[in-house]
């Protein structure tokens, strides 16, 4: 049954992990855009997870670095803003669309930092299971891509007149997620604990869970006020209100599936009942994505 649950979770079509095939794809047309959020903090978008950047006299602090073929473009976009070097790259979790540039960034002298579980995941082969398709392996990342500094609960960087405070949120999107709060700039990078305007991908194969991702949203909200600018892992720049809506919608979806489970319905029966039909339509998700997210919730609740 676990294979079926995980397979459905991976067939959403809203998330990709950097397999060797993906990493070799032509990204020559990808453009890196930068939006100033104030206080020397920027949000950059290209292909993969959204990037957070702090610039100033102390150097450049980067959150996530997308795919390896985009490193030169990312560095060029940063160079437009500042001539200072990248000193730190912080990974919000292990997935390749957030860590693919690690090795390249490390070769320029940047120090890679992440939760200890990120280093563990990146140093080992991972297996992805998708329904109706053979299991596929994601090979371990090269050692040069692994985080050099790791933490367990929280860590703070004091740079560029700001305090970048990273907090571990357990078993959310994965088992190694962290949220980063730019305290003075009043910006929070949520990593993939926040997918804007779509069903989130929850990597149950590497420790993610529906309850954990709801809790992570609560952790992020506790760091914010009404003026906080929120960088999601995927999607447009957001506000605290957007994150509240996301958290509340996740609770509604979770509880809808839980109620049918309490009635003794099987996963297949719950999927046929389509308890998330309205939410899927509102966010432009198809029936496959809806069924996949039902399976993800079901699996998470079954493991409690």
pLDDT > 70? residue 20: no
Six-digit token string for 12: 């959403």
Mean pLDDT of 187-205: 94
- 26: in domain: no
Structural Rg of the chain based on CA atoms: 19
pLDDT at position 127: 75
- 20: in domain: no
Mean pLDDT of 210-218: 98
Lowest mean pLDDT segment, chosen from 8-17, 105-114, 236-245, 266-275: 8-17
What is the C-alpha separation between 65 and 97, in angstroms, rounded?
8
pLDDT band at 18 (very low <50, low <70, confident <90, very high): very low
Mean pLDDT of 6-34: 60
- 261: in domain: no
- 22: in domain: no
Mean pLDDT of 118-140: 75
pLDDT > 50? residue 168: yes
What is the C-alpha separation between 300 and 304, in angstroms, rounded?
7
pLDDT > 70? residue 5: no
SS (H, E, C) 137-194: EECCCCHHHCCCEEECCEEEEEECCEEEEEEEECCCCCCCEEEEEECCCCEEEEEEEE
Burial 84-110 (b: 16+ CB within 10 A, else e): eebbbbbbbbbbbbbbbbbbbbbeeeb
Mean pLDDT of all residues belonging to the chain: 90
Of the two residues 260 and 23, the one the predictor is more confident about is 260
pLDDT > 70? residue 12: no
Domains: count for the chain: 1
pLDDT at position 24: 54
pLDDT at position 8: 40
CATH number at residue 206: 3.60.15.10
- 297: in domain: no
- 156: in domain: yes
- 170: in domain: yes
- 23: in domain: no
Q: pLDDT digit string (tens) for 104-126?
A: 999 999 999 999 999 999 999 98
pLDDT at position 78: 98
Six-digit token string for 266: 């099987």
SS3 of residue 109 by DSSP: coil
pLDDT at position 41: 98
Domain span at 85: 2-13+32-250
């Amino acid at each position: 049954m676990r294979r079926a649950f995980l397979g459905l979770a991976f067939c959403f079509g809203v998330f990709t992990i950097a397999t060797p095939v993906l990493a070799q794809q032509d990204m020559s047309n990808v453009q890196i855009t930068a939006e100033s959020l104030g206080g020397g903090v920027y949000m950059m978008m290209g292909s993969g997870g959204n990037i957070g950047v702090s610039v100033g006299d102390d150097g450049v602090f980067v959150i996530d670095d997308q795919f390896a073929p985009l490193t030169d473009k990312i560095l060029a976009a940063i160079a437009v803003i500042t001539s200072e070097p990248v000193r730190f790259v912080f990974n919000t979790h292990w997935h390749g669309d957030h860590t693919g540039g690690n090795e390249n960034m490390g070769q320029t002298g940047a120090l890679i930092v992440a939760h200890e579980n990120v280093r563990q995941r990146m140093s080992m082969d991972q297996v992805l299971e998708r329904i109706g398709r053979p299991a596929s392996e994601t090979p371990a990342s090269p050692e040069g891509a692994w985080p050099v500094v790791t933490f367990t609960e929280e860590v703070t960087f004091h740079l560029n007149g700001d305090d970048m405070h990273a907090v571990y949120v357990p078993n959310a999107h994965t088992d190694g997620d962290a949220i980063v709060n730019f305290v003075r700039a009043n910006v929070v990078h949520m990593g993939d604990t926040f997918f804007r305007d779509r069903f989130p991908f929850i990597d149950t194969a590497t420790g993610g869970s529906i309850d954990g991702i709801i809790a992570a949203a609560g952790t992020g909200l506790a760091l914010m006020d009404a003026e906080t600018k929120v960088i999601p892992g995927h999607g447009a720049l957001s506000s605290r209100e957007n994150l509240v809506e996301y958290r509340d919608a996740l609770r509604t979806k979770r509880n809808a599936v839980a109620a049918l489970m309490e009635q003794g319905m099987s996963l297949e029966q719950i999927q046929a009942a389509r308890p998330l039909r309205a939410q899927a339509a509102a966010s432009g998700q198809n029936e496959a994505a809806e069924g996949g997210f039902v399976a993800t919730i079901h699996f998470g609740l079954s493991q409690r």
